[in-house]
Amino acid sequence: MDMVVVGQQRMLQLHELQEIHNEAYESSRIYKEKTKVFHDKHILRQSFVEGQKVLMYHSGLKLFPGKLKSRWIGLFNVTKVFPLGAVEVVSPSTGKSFKVNSQRSKPYYESMEKEQDVVIHLIDLVYVDE
């Protein structure tokens, strides 16, 4: 008799442990969903068009990159845009073409105003004491 009661208590404990496990799993799943929604909300989707100029993120490992050194390199022209976020770019200096993820690139904005040469003539002023 005593073994039957102990067996039932053990089964009850195992069921309670399984319920705790399921609750923890569900809580973890809800947390992951909320974190993903928050993360995705702050991602800026960029759309590129053919012929657009872009800069590429240089993620090479550097031991001492320097505080003010920019990690954006080159000036590349977009030759083809793929549907799932990949972009084919070509380097105008080398002519090499390669495919990259669009998250590693950002648009290059040229200045809208054309710089004009300004000539300033400096005249020496002579002061004469009278």
Specify the pTM.
Answer: 0.54
The alpha carbons of the chain give a radius of gyration, in whole angstroms, of: 32
Place of tokens 């759309």: 47
How do the domains of the chain map onto residue ranges? 1-43, 53-107
pLDDT by residue for the chain (130 residues), tens only, comes to 689 999 999 999 999 999 999 999 999 999 999 999 999 888 777 889 999 999 999 877 677 767 777 888 889 999 999 988 899 999 988 989 999 998 889 999 887 566 677 787 777 767 666 5
CATH architecture of 53-107: Roll (2.30)
Q: For residue 105, with 0-12 CB atoms within 10 Å meaning exposed, 13-18 middle and 19 or more buried, which class applies?
A: buried
